[in-house]
Structure 1
Amino acid sequence: MSLDMAKERLGRDGEPIADPARVRQLVDTAHRNATEALAELRDLARGIHPPALDDGLSDALSTLAARSTVPVELSVDVTQRPTPAIETIAYFCAAELLTNVIKHSGARRAVLRVAQEDGLLRLRVTDDGRGGATLGAGSGLTGLRQRVRTVDGRIDVSSPSGGPTAVTVELPLHA
């Protein structure tokens, strides 16, 4: 609606804008509303339990690895099934990290390891790419950190320039 009102206030081509401050305000409102709507959609999408997890984390990660355009060596050693919330977070972390490998690293291969150790679920993605990944540099790793923190988990990124990159996510088994 704000964009429609701004469009009406602009008038016809070539006519002067009668109230540019009001048009700017309408565009700012439309921008803010669109940004909030996108954030809500992202939150909703993050909360959806992917059907790939119906048969467990191992099968879901196998599917992710198989679909990757960069070869992925997969190792999953989970003896106790985590709660659905933890499985969902782990799955989305793996998906985001593998996407980062494909899009940004220039890697020829990646390794995805998931293990249950000391009461935690540890997920680690490494690649042989160019490195340079940092928390806060883009929305992907920052979003992962926020997601992991919701269950008192943690994320560690080691990615010196020239590579390799290793990202470790630690999650409790139950949340």
Structure 2
Amino acid sequence: MFERFTDSARAAVVDAQAQARALGATEIRPEHLLLGVLATADRSLRAQLAGVGLTGDAVFADLEAAAGVLGPDDADALESIGIDLDAIRERLESSFGEGILDRRSTAAGRPGRWGHIPFARGAKKSLELALREAIARRERSIAAEHLLLGILRSDDPTALGLIENHITRGDLRQLLAARLDRAA
């Protein structure tokens, strides 16, 4: 199936693994595919999606917030009660080594820094549905637009929630269909 992917779609799948790793995930899920598409799609698609607020930065921030990652506002709030996160990081790094908080454990099934991260069922389903979208349109290759359509059809609640924070499912489907129609 991957031989039918455009260079951009292949790059999105490769980037999905990097996104999953950056978020500390043990598997590649549809939200990681979404991030991969947003990072690697061609400039015009990224611009259209950014026009509705659907950007890689926005989705990554939404995922970090959902995962409970501390941001600058959290650090400021903790500092106001006497907790300095930078000082804590420095003490941990001096005791256990630089970057200790950034490393991922290989224990308990968590991927190592460079280890393979498998595709979750939802991501596999999204890729299969992307292929079906291309076939239904009688198109020979699978592009970033097809990947997004596959993610929409997968009904993955996390990925759909991230998308619908910025654009409705129906509006995104129309936007993608119009792009694919123009390209045909």
Q: Normalization by structure 1: what TM-score?
A: 0.29
Counting strand residues as a fraction of each chain, which structure ranks higher?
A: 1
Whose radius of gyration is greater, 1 or 2?
1
Q: Normalization by structure 2: what TM-score?
A: 0.28
